[in-house]
Amino acid sequence: MATGDNAVQAADAPRRRRYRVHHLAQAKEQGSKITMLTAYDAVTAAVFDAAGIDVLLVGDSIGNTMHGHTTTLPVTVDDMIPAARAVAGAARYALVVVDLPFGSYEAGPEQALATAVRFMKETGAAAVKLEGGRSVAPQIRAITDAGIPVVGHLGFTPQSEHALGGHRVQGRGEDAAEALCADALAVQEAGAVAVVLEMTTVEVAARATEILQIPTIGIGAGPATDGQVLVWTDMAGMTEWTPRFARRFAELGTALREAAEDYAAEVRGGTFPDAVHSFER
């Protein structure tokens, strides 16, 4: 299937323009909310792009959602590259951001820059995202200085889930809130164009959003952030369990299972394929 010609894209408004990094700053200035969803392949990227989603994140959550891991830790650069290439190839309008996976940037600015450069050369993505605050500011600075936009990620950072003691809300208590705000300021100072805030209290997300000039994009961080991001399989109801912060906007898992059951029943009953779906002479 040529996703560039995908029927879902016919609904595109002709006046839409490519969402770029400067539109993130513009959105914050104008108070218009930034919309972000994860995508891991060309088919869903084309659908979300046609739906008008501003930013597509090729998240390392691909490890959990698509590869069946229980954490994002096993995800590699070689896992991310084909996914990012597929999403960037299918997204006509959305800004495509790709996650630097665990182990691809922690060693220092040189390693981080090498990974980011590889992503830019080999995928067509427009920006990278990495997890951490003050400790990774030199990495953010090195990547930014090379002309590659960086999105930060604070609060619950899944790559550090063992150090954080599991999936726990971050920023609780004054010390933790202050530390999170200091990290947010360091990420901004290092040149990040936006920062994802994951599973923080509403109050600390609001405080970070207020003190930062760059936009905050929340996931489980309440309504005060400059934008929202969800993992698409959560928001589409693809799985039985959904995190508390993710609303199920559809029940696609059930719809897909029913479609597969109908297909199997028709094949077994001999009613598919029929004349309409067969070629004669």
Contact positions vs ligand KIV (CB under 6 A)? 38, 57, 59-61, 99, 153, 196, 198, 219, 229, 231
Residue 199's region, left for phi above 0, alpha for psi from -120 to 50, else beta, is: left
Burial class of residue 111, CB neighbours in 10 A (0-12, 13-18, 19+): middle
Annotated catalytic residue within 110, 122, 189, 198: 198
Least distance (Å) from ligand KIV to the CB of residue 120?
A: 19
Supply the minimum distance, in Å, between the C-beta of residue 60 and ligand KIV: 5
Q: How many residues does the chain have?
A: 281
| Smallest separation (angstroms) from ligand KIV to the CB of 44 | 13
Residue partners of 223: CB distance under 8 A and separation at least 6? 202
- Minimal CB distance to ligand KIV: which residue? 59
CB nearer to ligand KIV: pick between 60 and 183: 60
CB of 234 to ligand KIV, least distance (A): 9
Quote the CA–CA distance of 116 and 134 in Å, as a whole number.
19
Nearer to ligand KIV, 245 or 272 (CB): 245
Question: Each residue of 164-184: b (16+ CB within 10 Å) or e?
Answer: eeeeebbbeeeeebebbbebb
DSSP category for residue 3: G
**Catalytic status, residue 174:** no
Catalytic residues, which ones? 198
